[in-house]
Chain A
Amino acid sequence: MRTRRSRLRITVAVLAIFAVVSVFVVRLVDIQIVQAQELNAEALTKRAQELVTYGTRGTIVDANGAVLASTVERYDITASPRSALTGPDATATASAALAQIAGVTGQDPAALLTVLTDDPTSDFVYLKQGVTLDVFRAVRDLDVPWVYFELRQSRTYPNGELAGNLVGFIGTDGPQAGLELSEDDCLAATNGSATYEKGEDGTRLPGSLVTTKEPKDGGTLRLTIDRDLQFFVQQRMAQTYNDLGAEWVTAVIMRVSDGHLMSVVDYPTVDPNDPGKAPRDALGSRAFSWAYEPGSTMKTLTAATLLDLGLVDPYTQVVAPGRIYLSDGGFIKDAWAHDDTRYTLTGALVDSSNTAFSLLSGSVDAETRRNYMLAFGLNQETEVGFLSESEGLVHPTSEWDERTNYTVQFGQGLSLTAVQLASAYQAIGNGGVRSPVALVEGCEHGDGTVTDLPQGEERRVISEGAARQTLDMMESLVSVGPNAGTLQIPGYRIAAKSGTAEVAENGVYGDKAVISYAGLAPAEDPQYVVAVSAGIPSSMYSSTDIAGTFHDVMAQTLTTFRVAPSGQSSPSLPLTW
């Protein structure tokens, strides 16, 4: 009996234990496997807090690494009126604290009190937005219990207006202009996420931070621009703007060997720190986005075309009439009245004779001439692809009338941008090979990779011989031309061409003019292209008025990049016969 009961007891006990264990096992499987996901999620919401971690937007630097745009941390000071204004003597305590805060932030204490007491039930007001670290620390050290802080990223442009036309700016809704907008893919940071566990009182448990996704900082955008040169040129162009009472001025400096832009200046321009103050049409870069009729700077390209076709040489003789009459009774004339003049091609370029160039180019069919213009990079965006860049306009030859057929060869009836002009001159300086235009050297990412490298292929536009002869003729303009005294830089051979163009408004040529100079130095082995231009509200001015600007910008360019003097004199070509 006893043993039976014992056995029974043991069996019952074992069964009971087994049953209990089974229940536990079933429940365990249920919790750990069947319901695991939803329980985990539920648990996480109870103790874990989601957190967005911010990457930093990339920096924009010049060719030498000088910072043009960077991201900085700013702090918003916020307060909870509800907790500030409850309790005995709360208002008095609050205004005392606000007076201290106002002392740090430089605000009016009374105004702050109004902000705080405006809605006493509210839990959130801004006391001051976007303060610097110093102010944030000072206010934090005041230790006011109902004052809180929010961190936010802000953008700063330590060089102000310098290259503001290129860099662009960021508004409240993100990038608004310039490279900030067009290179946003490079600069933008990717936000990450993390979770941390919070204790009962809401404080973060130490060591509980789990990064679920790493934030990725934006890349560093390196420009081809040289900050110091940009400063000088911008300064000089601003003086030109003031001296001439111009509507706008631009300057473009390009390295001949690779088409990189050393400086692109527009004035008036924008201070990206305070874009609201800039005129609306100064928010971008006119050098890229504003196509104008270039005038006589175009004759250089015409001469290069004719030389490349083998139809002329610098000594080719032409008799330039005062006027060329058209079948509609109109005529083409030069800027000054003259009788028949016996020019060489060089002389026609130096004196900028429209009639001589009309006669010389008349023998080439229109399509060929237009194809040369396209090869020089006209009528198409440059490789830069700047924001709202203009393509310029060279009409199809089918739309050229008798007059346009002539005028395009001396720069009226077609339009181009300042950068396109500089790029075409670069081809002449580079032995006839046009290099793709570049404004961005590359985008350097945190992992060491470099993207956004300059795009495009080099292409031969004219022969090396034609390029050389064109340069020799352009040199004559500097050595013996009408503005020779202003243009020359002692010790250097300079090649340049002037331009004075009428501006058409609503299809009619009015009083407005664009005066410009474009050229290369040193002429024996061109290193840099300089193109300056100004939009003038009066036809009283001519390119003479911008020759001094060209000289100064060129001189500074040669000094900045330590270009050694030529040590030889310019070739002497006959101008007349």
Chain B
Amino acid sequence: MSSSVAYARPIARPEAPRIAPAPEAVPAPRPVDRPDRRARPRATYAVITVMSLAVIFAAQLLLSIAVSDGAYQITALQAQQKELVRQEEALAEKLDLLGSTQHLSANAAHLGMVPSSAPLFLDLSSGGVAAAPGTVDRGCGGACNLVGNSLLTGMPLVSPQAPTATLDAGTTVVTTPPVVTDTAPQGPVDALPAPVTY
């Protein structure tokens, strides 16, 4: 600001003397020491400017490093998420297959389970017990599966030893005598013993 005023005036000056030949002493103070006074602040400004530029560049660099690092982190997490989603889908697929009716019935038969031939209905409102129409066991107890499923080919059956082991290790199994034993038909003779549950 101050410098532009100082230079503008000398340019306009030369014409002024013609109009006013008796010029007063123009206060053009200390033209000599001016550059001196300015030299010091200029160096400071330069240093400040350069340093702030350096700081800005450094900050920008750090910021962009942080941003791109974040971007890579996001990408890595997204890739991880994709892998996990795939894993989840693969497990869900396996679960559906393991939970398929054919797989369950084949394993139940393998473990010696047979369909109950004398199920009962409990009427909670009246506390009454009624015989439900039992499933007629056609002699194979679910072992002869006639509803094919090509996906189960080669699928291993569960080990019949496992449940016995857990039952022994745990608390003793309380077996109460069945209420309607006289009407309950026996399972196939060759079937494996199954835990009695009521």
Interface residues of A (CB under 8 A from B): 3, 66-67, 70, 72-73, 132-134, 156-162, 206-207, 227-228, 231-232, 234-236, 238-239, 242, 271, 273-274, 277, 489-492, 551-552, 554-556, 558-559, 562, 564-565, 567
B132:A273 contact, CB within 8 angstroms: no
Contact of B130 among A67, A235, A239, A565 (CB under 8 A): A565
A161:B147 contact, CB within 8 angstroms: yes
> Which residue of B72, B130, B147 has the most chain A CB atoms within 10 A of its CB atom?
B147
Q: What separation, in Å, do the CA atoms of A277 and B150 have in the docked complex? A: 10
Selected A-B contacts with CB under 8 Å, 15 pairs: A70-B92, A73-B89, A156-B93, A158-B99, A160-B102, A206-B74, A231-B101, A271-B150, A273-B150, A490-B133, A552-B135, A552-B136, A555-B136, A565-B130, A565-B131
B54 at interface (Cβ–Cβ under 8 A)?
Answer: no
Q: What separation, in Å, do the CA atoms of A238 and B145 have in the docked complex? A: 10
Kindly supply a per-residue 1/0 record for chain B positions 98-126, scoring 1 wherever the CB is within 8 Å of any chain A CB and 0 otherwise: 01111001000000000000010101000
B58 at interface (Cβ–Cβ under 8 A)?
Answer: no
B90 at interface (Cβ–Cβ under 8 A)?
Answer: yes
B52 at interface (Cβ–Cβ under 8 A)?
Answer: no
A228:B96 contact, CB within 8 angstroms: no
Q: Which chain A residue lies CB-closest to B70?
A: A207
Interface members, chain B 125-161 (any A CB < 8 Å): 130-136, 138, 145-152
Top 4 nearest A-B pairs (CB, nearest first) are: A160-B149, A238-B146, A555-B133, A158-B96
Known: A133-B89, A162-B101, A551-B136. 12 other contacts (CB 8 A): A3-B11, A72-B93, A158-B99, A159-B149, A160-B147, A162-B100, A162-B149, A231-B105, A271-B149, A273-B151, A559-B132, A559-B135
A207:B148 contact, CB within 8 angstroms: no
Residues of B within 8 A of A227 (CB): 101
CB distance from A188 to the nearest CB of B (A): 19
B81 at interface (Cβ–Cβ under 8 A)?
Answer: no
> Which residue of B92, B121, B132 has the most chain A CB atoms within 10 A of its CB atom?
B132
B194 at interface (Cβ–Cβ under 8 A)?
Answer: no
A235:B68 contact, CB within 8 angstroms: no
The total of interchain contacts (Cβ-Cβ below 8 angstroms) comes to 117
Interface residues of B (CB under 8 A from A): 11, 68, 71-72, 74-75, 86-87, 89-90, 92-93, 96-97, 99-102, 105, 119, 121, 123, 130-136, 138, 145-152
Q: Known contacts A160-B150, A160-B151, A271-B150: does B131 contact A490 (CB below 8 Å)? A: yes
Q: Known contacts A72-B89, A73-B86: does B71 contact A206 (CB below 8 Å)? A: yes
Q: What separation, in Å, do the CA atoms of A551 and B133 have in the docked complex? A: 10
A160:B132 contact, CB within 8 angstroms: no
Q: Which chain A residue lies CB-closest to B72?
A: A206
